[in-house]
């Protein structure tokens, strides 16, 4: 932060290219996909602090005291506008924020996600259901203050652990997913679905992958670590679209992907076969013409790399948030050669880089 954005972007591309120098030729790099410098983040995951009626929403300092971040410049405008009334609503609940040091209190986090139309998903993370009735009963007040709220849930995190949510989710609204309109595809986010934090850059990422996939005209595509199905569903909209099968460990995300696929089929936007299954991506059989992978920071690892190396895929599209593990994985795929590489700046004002590569053989 503090460096001109153009300098940040140039430095970030140079750093990613250096990390990948052994596996990506300099001429394979194309111009980076830039972001807005501020106002780009579509979600806020806020730790609660303070006391009932005067709750802080943000982070905890070194002494476990709440630091309020409602004025953070990273949030999209619709999200930034919603946080003050959301804070008022949280204060009115009268819940005791969780005290990490003393291990007491009920209110742990507030998660808020905004879509391109300004609609919101609000998740209140509680320690237990002892005070959950306060949240349920206050739903009309929340909708009065913020009519654009589409989904509201209570998430339960009883354990004293460094996690942002727990496995149990109670949906309080009739709507259970937040639609994310990205050009030709409207993805659906469930409360526990992963989605990139930068909506505009995510759309650019999916569109670039779709265009690279189109060049190879694959008959079949396997989308591993598919999340809510962005890569596979964008590919399914091609004029000559491959059959698409996605695999993801999160059942919530798979349900969202199936929801979107059903809508696109009903609207005639896609006509190809599109399926999604819950499962471990590392154990999926890579038996498609084209494979797309979007793994966590640790990468795909030796086992899946060996499966891809042995498999029939002619094209690999790899989206990575960690150039170091991307380099290690590409080194495990000697039969593939990187034809294109592009940086997508999901996280301005940081050194983090999202890199998309197209590898062929």
Q: Which token pair is 40?
A: 């780009």
Determine if residue 118 is left, alpha or beta; phi over 0 gives left, psi from -120 to 50 gives alpha, anything else beta.
left
CA-to-CA distance for 275 and 117, rounded, in angstroms? 28
- Rounded to the nearest 5 percent, the helix, strand and coil shares of the chain are 30, 30, 40
344 in Cβ contact with 32 (< 8 Å): yes
Give, for 144, the enclosing helix (H) or strand (E): helix 139-145
Spatial contact of 283 and 224, defined as CB atoms under 8 Å apart: no
Closest CA to 145 of 107, 92, 72: 92
Helix, strand or coil, per DSSP, at residue 134: helix
CB 84 within 8 A of CB 101: no
> Tokens 């139309």 label which residue?
117
Local structure of 216: helix, strand or coil: helix
Q: Note if 72 is an active site residue.
A: no
Task: Give the distance, in angstroms, between the CA of residue 44 and the centroid of all CA atoms in the same chain.
Answer: 12
Residue pair 55/87 in contact by the 8 Å Cβ criterion: yes
Q: Give Cβ neighbours of residue 85 (< 8 Å, ≥ 6 apart).
A: 145, 146
Phi, psi of 311 (to 5 degrees): -75, 180
How many Å apart are CA 217 and CA 164, to the nearest integer? 41
How many angstroms separate the first and last alpha carbons of the chain? 40
The pair of three-digit structure tokens given for residue 188, joined into one six-digit string: 């659906």
Write down the catalytic residue from 72, 226, 290, 321: 321
Name the E strands within 14-90.
43-51, 54-60, 66-68
- Catalytic site positions: 321
């Amino acid at each position: 932060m503090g460096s001109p954005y153009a300098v940040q972007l140039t430095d970030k591309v140079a750093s990613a290219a250096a990390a990948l120098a052994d596996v990506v030729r300099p001429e394979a790099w194309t111009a980076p996909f830039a972001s807005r410098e501020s106002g780009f983040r579509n979600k806020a995951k806020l730790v609660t602090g303070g006391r009932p009626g005067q709750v802080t929403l943000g982070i905890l300092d070194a002494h476990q005291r709440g630091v309020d971040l409602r004025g953070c410049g990273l949030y999209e405008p619709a999200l930034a506008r919603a946080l003050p009334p959301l804070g008022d609503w949280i204060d009115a609940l009268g819940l005791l924020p969780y005290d990490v040091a003393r291990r007491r209190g009920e209110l742990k986090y507030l998660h808020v996600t905004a879509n391109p139309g300004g609609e919101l998903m609000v998740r209140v993370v509680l320690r237990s259901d002892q005070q959950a009735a306060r949240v349920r009963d206050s739903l009309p007040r929340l909708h009065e203050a913020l009519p654009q709220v589409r989904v509201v849930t209570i998430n339960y995190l009883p354990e004293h652990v460094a996690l942002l949510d727990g496995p149990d989710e109670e949906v309080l609204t009739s709507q259970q997913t937040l639609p994310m309109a990205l050009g030709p595809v409207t993805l659906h986010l469930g409360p526990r679905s992963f989605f990139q934090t930068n909506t505009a850059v995510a759309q650019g990422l999916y569109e670039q992958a779709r265009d690279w996939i189109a060049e190879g005209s694959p008959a079949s595509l396997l989308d591993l670590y598919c999340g809510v199905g962005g890569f596979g569903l964008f590919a399914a909209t091609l004029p000559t679209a491959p059959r698409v099968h996605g695999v993801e460990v999160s059942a919530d995300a798979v349900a969202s992907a199936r929801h979107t696929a059903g809508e696109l089929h009903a609207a005639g936007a896609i006509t190809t076969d599109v399926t999604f299954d819950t499962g471990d991506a590392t154990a999926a059989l890579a038996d498609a013409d084209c494979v797309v992978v979007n793994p966590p920071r640790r990468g795909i690892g030796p086992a899946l790399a060996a499966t891809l190396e042995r498999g029939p895929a002619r094209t690999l599209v790899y989206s990575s948030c960690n150039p170091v593990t991307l380099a290690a994985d590409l080194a495990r795929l000697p039969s593939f050669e990187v034809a294109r590489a592009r940086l997508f700046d999901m996280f301005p004002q940081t050194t983090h880089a999202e890199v998309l590569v197209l590898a062929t053989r």
